[in-house]
């Protein structure tokens, strides 16, 4: 019999959020709060940085000590901003990446764990793909341009995350090149794909960082075994936390190759984000818990 779910880790974009609108739905909010009230810990795990993620989660009404795993696992904080864990990419790795990645024709962005302009650095806002215009508009106050990008490291501050965005083919090529070349073993790579837009984001992280690793550390600190964890995601940057979870769930709108992998492994496929798939999955968890509790009471009464 499967272990009761004690922790639910949830991705944001393409999972918790609908495709259009940028707000957690009322039904999903209700399900999250009911799960929290039932003693199930909610963890948000996202590629977004804290400043870009927290404003989406605050309106839900979760406890301020709710954990946010951000920048794909390099930074872990509570919803109110208390730091739990953080990892940096050495400048001796980050600076050479600037030149090495230009061959792939995308745009490189580095994230720094600070507040205000300079949290995000890149060479040219105008060169960013029109596909990520909403991201640019939402993040413009925190973006600083450096030409060349290598100058961003002159102050000696280490980034927590690098990102290269471009076409699906180009990002797959970049991933293969980085894994086979001088950067192998110096960075962790996590790819997010949107085939319908021919857009892909390759996250480049310090070694030993991922949503899955950060989730495992937090769960262990709480005494929660992996078989009591549910993880819900829609893309390849969620794969390690899906592998960790005793109950992995992939969204119906997820990357096609990830859905195919999920089916081959017998993982659960949820309804899409626009069908409030997260809410439906959490509701099923709560219903199962309620049935189990009722049966336990019946057994205790008849004993």
**Are 225 and 137 in the same domain?**
no
**Phi, then psi, of 242 in degrees rounded to 5:** -65, -40
**Are 298 and 215 in the same domain?**
yes
| Token duo for residue 102 | 């230009």
| pLDDT at 248 (0 to 100) | 98
**Are 202 and 287 in the same domain?**
no
CATH number of the domain residue 138 falls in: 3.30.1240.10
**Cβ–Cβ < 8 Å for 164, 103:** no
In a domain, 70, yes or no: yes
| pLDDT at 3 (0 to 100) | 79
| Token duo for residue 280 | 């439906």
Cβ count within 10 A of residue 187: 20
**Are 182 and 223 in the same domain?**
no
- Let me know the angle formed at the C-alpha of 212 by 210 and 216, rounded to the nearest 5 degrees: 120
Q: What is the pTM of this model?
A: 0.92
Q: Which residues pair with 253 in a beta bridge?
A: none
**Are 78 and 95 in the same domain?**
no
CATH number of the domain residue 66 falls in: 3.40.50.1000
Distance CA 243, CA 7 (A): 15
| pLDDT at 42 (0 to 100) | 98
Looking at the structure of the chain, the number of domains it has is: 2
| pLDDT at 128 (0 to 100) | 72
**Are 176 and 227 in the same domain?**
no
Domain region containing 51: 7-86+210-302
| pLDDT at 295 (0 to 100) | 59
> What is the full per-residue pLDDT of the chain (303 aa) written as tens digits?
567 999 999 999 999 999 998 899 999 999 999 999 999 999 999 999 999 999 999 999 999 999 999 999 999 999 999 999 999 999 999 999 999 999 998 889 999 999 899 999 999 888 776 667 788 888 999 999 999 999 999 999 999 999 999 999 999 999 999 999 999 999 999 999 999 889 999 999 999 999 999 999 999 999 999 999 999 999 999 999 999 999 999 999 999 999 999 999 999 999 999 999 999 999 999 998 876 655 555 555 555
**Are 100 and 193 in the same domain?**
yes
In a domain, 50, yes or no: yes
pLDDT one-digit tens code per residue, 21-61 = 889 999 999 999 999 999 999 999 999 999 999 999 999 99
Cβ count within 10 A of residue 130: 8
Determine the angle formed by the axes of helices 26-37 and 277-302, rounding to 10 degrees.
30
| pLDDT at 22 (0 to 100) | 87
> Where a domain ends, among 206, 231, 257?
206
**Are 65 and 168 in the same domain?**
no
**Are 149 and 231 in the same domain?**
no
**Are 168 and 134 in the same domain?**
yes
Question: Tokens 């699906």 belong to which residue?
Answer: 168
| pLDDT at 1 (0 to 100) | 52
In a domain, 2, yes or no: no
């Amino acid at each position: 019999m499967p272990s009761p779910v004690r922790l639910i880790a949830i991705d944001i974009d393409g999972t918790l959020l609908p495709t259009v609108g940028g707000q957690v739905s009322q039904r999903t909010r209700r399900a999250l709060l009911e799960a929290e009230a039932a003693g199930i810990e909610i963890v948000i795990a996202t590629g977004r940085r804290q400043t870009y993620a927290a404003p989406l989660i605050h309106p839900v009404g979760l406890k301020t000590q709710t954990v946010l795993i951000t920048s794909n696992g390099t930074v872990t904080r509570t919803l109110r901003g208390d730091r739990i864990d953080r990892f940096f990419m050495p400048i001796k790795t980050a600076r050479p990446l600037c030149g090495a990645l230009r061959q792939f024709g995308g745009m490189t962005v580095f994230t720094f764990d600070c507040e205000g302009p300079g949290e995000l650095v890149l060479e040219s806002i105008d060169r960013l793909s029109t596909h990520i215009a909403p991201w640019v508009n939402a993040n413009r106050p925190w973006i600083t341009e450096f030409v060349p990008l290598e100058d961003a490291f002159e102050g000696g501050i280490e980034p927590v995350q690098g990102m290269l965005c471009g076409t699906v083919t180009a990002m797959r090529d970049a991933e293969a090149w980085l894994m086979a070349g001088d950067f192998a073993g110096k960075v962790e790579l996590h790819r997010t794909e949107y085939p319908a837009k021919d857009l892909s984001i390759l996250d480049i992280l310090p070694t030993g960082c991922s949503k899955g690793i950060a989730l495992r550390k937090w769960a262990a600190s709480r005494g929660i075994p992996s078989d009591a964890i549910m993880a819900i995601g829609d893309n390849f940057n969620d794969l390690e936390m899906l592998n960790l979870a005793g109950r992995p769930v992939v969204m119906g709108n997820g990357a096609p190759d990830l859905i195919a992998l999920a089916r081959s492994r017998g993982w659960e496929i949820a309804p899409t984000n626009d069908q409030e798939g997260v809410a439906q999955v959490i509701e099923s968890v709560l219903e199962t818990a309620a049935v189990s509790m009722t049966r336990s009471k019946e057994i205790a009464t008849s004993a």
